[in-house]
Amino acid sequence: MSNVNPDPGNDAPAFIPLEANPPLMTNLLHKLGVSPALAVHDVYSLTEPELLAFLPRPALALLLVFPVSAAYESQRLSADSLVAEYAGHGAEPVVWWRQTIRNACGMMGLLHAVCNGPAREFIESGSTLDELLQKSIPLDPAQRARLLEQTPALAAAHKDAAQQGATQAPDAHDDVDLHYVCFVKGSDGALYELDGRRKGPIQLGALASDEDVLSEKGLALGPLRFLEGAGGDLRFSAVALAGTLD
């Protein structure tokens, strides 16, 4: 859920905010075309090894869900002012989408999670996700954003999932106070922060071949560093994309 939306105009499409609910997210991904071999799992701690040990490994992506503080927004705007707008397209280490759909940060996080790194191998041929990914890769960021806006199957699947949460779903145009950011390992072995509100994908540093997003280094480069720099009382939750539990 997010109240920190892009500002593309009054006619921009809007999604019902997506609850950070692993079964709901898993069902949504399967409906869009992800193999049943993958699932979304609760991450109960980013600092306690005994709790991380319960998760299937390797973890292919981590979604961090957090209330946005003034300190975070200030840091984000400052960092983005130092970089140019991303113009990548074609075969690159990660596929990144700009968010132009209001309250769609949950869906953006899931797209970034399953369409990058080894997770991409679990997208079933001919599915909604497969077609969306293949169409997106050669496009520039503006064209990719329009493609998301103009994919009815994506909107329909998202709406169905958002209405099945454990709590009452807000209206698509409501302001809500949570935002999603995704951490994935790119095809170049680096850890990336993927957020459709930023100017592009952010490379955070290299990971070894046996290190995933929940490895000690992956956590230090990604969510822990992210949280340390956010400031204030930053409550958060996290879910990970990984194999299904036996």
- Sheet with 61-67, strands from edge to edge, namely 38-43, 237-243, 61-67, 178-185, 190-194, 202-206
- Tell me whether residue 105 is one of the annotated catalytic residues: yes
Contact residues for 148 (Cβ-Cβ < 8 A; gap 6+):
97, 100, 101, 104, 111, 132, 154
Active-site residue, from 105, 115, 158, 182:
105
- What's the token pair of residue 202? 């952010």
- Tell me whether residue 179 is one of the annotated catalytic residues: yes
Which residue(s) pair with 239 in the sheet? 42, 63
Active-site residue, from 112, 158, 179, 182:
179
* Location of structure tokens 């209405």: 163
The residues annotated with a catalytic role in the active site are 105, 179
